[in-house]
């Protein structure tokens, strides 16, 4: 929550978004047209300003989509086990973000998964077997490096696994193999966060709590699919279907030891002449409804994402579609009015 002066103030955290994804380089240059090209050349002061601005709008958690890009790490120091870092405008952008989050008392989840090695092999949205063993070995080396480098910091919350599942049998098998055979033995009881597709499309929700626990997930944050339609009513119908799944699963998931969050999509897609889509800020009134519908059902609301889609534009955070400042202004009004 923000005060009139811009500083966070304590409120009931379920009434607003308190966490957001962010990326150092986005794997999809079309989706992230309005920010990734600029961010790649940011300096340390820019990355620190981004994290600081997230904190000022009430976010206590930052979730890095991936600590690697096409098989190359986005942090230094592990060339023999993970690879040669991508060269960026800042020598260590992740280090800058982590240092600022640590200073502010925030928590950080570190993405260690798909948006690295896997995107070299096939479209990252399709994870059908057979899976090259090198995927798992590399993901494990990346996870070990992240825990070694950042695990003792106060801000370290755990790892995010960016394989976006829809709970098909082969996807469940992939998670069970990645977590059970590789990650758990390597990193121990580190918390694992996953953000699968929305729950509204699943006919057999009753089996999911046991499946999620078996897969080794500690925190489940389903995407609410609020950004998948330009028609607000249709978008909110998808959110309501996801909310029905959240309500149905929250008790059984808690009994299984799994925390339940909701991932609010704050965007809307816009087609380009090539047929690809750009990700733009969605309508604020729709996002507010997404919050109101889901907040009572979960432990925490997170979003995709502050960076580029709902940030205030400043000299240091100079990114986003021209409409991003208007989104920020309206969302800030909502935060200030939230009891």
* For the chain, domain boundaries: 13-337
Rounded CA-CA distance 246/262 in Å is 8
Supply φ then ψ for residue 21, to 5 degrees: -70, 160
- What is the pLDDT, as a whole number, of residue 135? 84
Spans of the chain below 50 pLDDT: 1-14, 121-123
Identify the three-state secondary structure at position 159: strand
- Are the C-beta atoms of residues 12 and 55 closer than 8 Å to each other? no
pLDDT at residue 122, rounded to an integer: 46
The size of the chain, in residues, is 339
DSSP string, 183-218: IHHHHTT--EEE--S-GGG-S-GGGHHHHHHHHT-S
The pLDDT, as a whole number, for residue 164 is 83
pLDDT confidence of residue 118: 54
At residue 281, φ and ψ (nearest 5 deg) are: -60, 135
Query: DSSP letter at 179?
Result: I
pLDDT at 29: 82
Separation CA 305–CA 264 (nearest Å): 9
C-beta of residue 155 within 8 angstroms of C-beta of residue 110: no
Structure confidence at residue 80 (pLDDT): 97
Contact between 160 and 63 under an 8 Å Cβ cutoff? The reply is yes
Secondary structure letter of residue 19 according to DSSP: E
The predicted structure's pLDDT at residue 7: 40
In CATH, the architecture of 13-337 is Alpha-Beta Barrel (3.20)
Q: Is 34 within 8 Å of 308 (Cβ atoms)?
A: yes
End-to-end CA distance of the chain: 10
**Which residue reads 């978008």 in tokens?**
235
Predicted local distance difference test score (pLDDT) of residue 53: 98
Candidates 144, 223, 133, 226; CA nearest to 183 is 144
């Amino acid at each position: 929550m923000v005060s009139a002066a811009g500083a966070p103030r304590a409120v009931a955290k379920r009434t607003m978004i308190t966490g957001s994804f962010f990326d150092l380089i986005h794997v999809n240059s079309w989706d992230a047209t309005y920010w990734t090209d600029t961010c790649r050349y940011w300096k340390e002061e820019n990355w620190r300003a981004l994290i600081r601005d997230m904190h000022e709008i009430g976010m206590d958690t930052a979730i890095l989509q991936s600590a690697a890009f096409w098989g190359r790490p986005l942090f230094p120091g592990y060339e023999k086990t993970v690879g040669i870092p991508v060269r960026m405008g800042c020598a260590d952008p992740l280090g800058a973000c982590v240092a600022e989050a640590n200073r502010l008392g925030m928590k950080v989840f570190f993405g260690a998964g798909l948006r690295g090695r896997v995107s070299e092999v096939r479209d990252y949205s399709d994870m059908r077997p057979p899976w090259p063993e090198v995927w798992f070995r590399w993901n494990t080396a990346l996870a070990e490096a992240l825990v070694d480098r950042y695990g003792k910091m106060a801000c370290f919350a755990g790892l995010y696994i960016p394989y976006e599942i829809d709970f098909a049998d082969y996807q469940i098998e992939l998670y069970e193999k990645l977590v059970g055979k590789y990650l758990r033995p390597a990193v121990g009881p580190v918390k694992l966060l996953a953000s699968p597709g929305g729950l509204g499309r699943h006919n057999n929700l009753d089996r999911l709590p046991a499946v999620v626990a078996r897969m080794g997930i500690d925190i489940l944050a389903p995407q609410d699919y609020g950004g998948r339609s330009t028609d607000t009513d249709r978008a909110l119908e998808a959110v309501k279907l996801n909310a029905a799944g959240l309500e149905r699963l929250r008790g059984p998931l808690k009994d299984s030891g799994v925390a339940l969050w909701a991932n609010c999509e704050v965007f809307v897609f816009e087609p380009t002449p090539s047929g690809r889509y750009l990700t733009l800020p969605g309508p604020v009134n729709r996002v507010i409804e997404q919050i109101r519908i889901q907040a009572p059902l979960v432990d925490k609301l997170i979003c995709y994402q502050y960076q580029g889609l709902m940030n205030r534009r400043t000299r240091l955070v100079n990114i986003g579609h021209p409409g991003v400042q208007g989104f920020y202004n309206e969302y800030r009004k909502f935060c200030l009015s939230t009891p």
